[in-house]
Amino acid sequence: MAWDQLSDEQREIRELVRTIAREKIAPRAAEIDASHEFPWDVVELYRENDIFGLFFEEEHGGLGTGTLLALIAIEEVSKVCATSGLILAVQELGSLGLKLAGSGPQKRQYLPKLASGEWLCAYALTEAGSGSDSAAMRTTARRDGDEYVLNGSKRFITNAGVANLYTVFAKTDPEGGHAGISAFLVESDAPGFEVTRLEPKMGISGSTTGELAFDEVRVPAANLLGAEGEGFKIAMRILDRSRPGVAAQALGIAQGATDYALEYAKTRETMGKPIAQHQLIQAKLADMETETEAARGLLYRFGQMVDDGADDSELTKASAMAKLKCGDVAMAVSTDAVQILGGYGYIKEYPAERFMRDAKITQIYEGTQEVQRLVIAREMLKESRAFLLAGVG
């Protein structure tokens, strides 16, 4: 058995998730991809086996098993189906605002429904003209008595149309830049709220990605997360903790692609022997395995940091590094897997091309790889390392 740092309890839960993924989700993966339909049967599997509970504390109806195990669950599912892994990652993303900034009544009202999977959730920050530049958002929220009135739109929102609860960011002070952004909890049945478009995509085809419209949507003032003007800070705290969910998805894709390419290379013969015995193929497999394991180290380190109570300031760089490494490895490894399969890697009868298509988005959403590099460098510039140069002439 390969060495790992997990406890017996963590290994037991990992094995449960792994078994569900292999026996129940893997046989559905190609169909989910081909149909472009949201897999409600997978959601039901998660509900029946309390998988959503991995992402929530016991006081809110969850299992309280911690961040590392939650990331491992996303990884295990993503080894066979990135769409199904994303369902778990977005349940975390969409609920983090509540966990980090929600009031007691807000948490009691919503978190148990999310922990059980009765409700799905979503995170609505991005707009057509406002991706990495959050201050450019145009969605507004004006106070009207005991309510806020939201107007505007959001773009590229995962779980659009299937979520019951959206964490929505809007300008309460249109001239205030980042300081003018606030965060709100918006239920899907709010009058004036509409999903106006679902995007056809290159990968993660069974996951809905859509455009939201807000036309005089009235939200109770009690649904404001934190205080007015705290939305940007909340959004950044959320992203620091949600990016590793995408990293876990990417890591799962990388490991799934590696495992499939390895098995293929053992059985495909050329020149009288399996291609796994040809040195050029062995070199690819070795690099794929090594890079995937290196990425896993950064991801698991982040999960352990959260479980050990690391400060938010320590998580920013660790989160960005995990997302950067895992996303880049997923793309490189899945591309190599297609190459190892040759012509078979390019046709849909085999999953290699799906791994490759699914991998690409992990370099884009939850902050592009370019943004991750900026975040990492910015955090480095805050650090003092002069003592390392002592005595260097």
Catalytic option among 127, 228, 353, 366 = 366
231/146 Cα distance (integer angstroms): 19
Q: What are the Cα distances from residue 131, in Å, to 99, 142, 183, 374?
A: 24, 22, 16, 15
Cβ pair 235, 315 in contact under 8 A: no
Check residue 264 and report its DSSP letter: H
Q: Check if the beta carbon of residue 326 is closer than 8 Å to that of residue 319.
A: no
Residue 5 to residue 79: CA distance in whole angstroms = 20
Burial level of 288, CB count in 10 A (0-12/13-18/19+)?
Answer: buried
- Cβ pair 288, 333 in contact under 8 A: yes
Is 211 in the active site? no
Q: Which helix (H) or strand (E) holds 268?
A: none
CA 77 – CA 373 distance, rounded (Å): 27
CA distances from 24 to 27, 42, 49 (A): 6, 8, 12
Q: Are 221 and 92 in contact (CB under 8 A)?
A: no
Burial class (CB in 10 A: 0-12, 13-18, 19+), 333: buried
Provide the terminal-to-terminal Cα distance of the chain, rounded to the nearest Å: 48
- DSSP SS3 for 248: helix
Half-sphere exposure in the Cβ direction for 82 (13 Å, CA)? 34
Nearest to 165 by CA among 219, 230, 215, 233: 219
What does residue 185 show for φ and ψ, rounded to 5 degrees?
-100, 120
- CA-nearest of 235, 66, 214 to 149 is 214
Residues carrying an active site annotation:
366
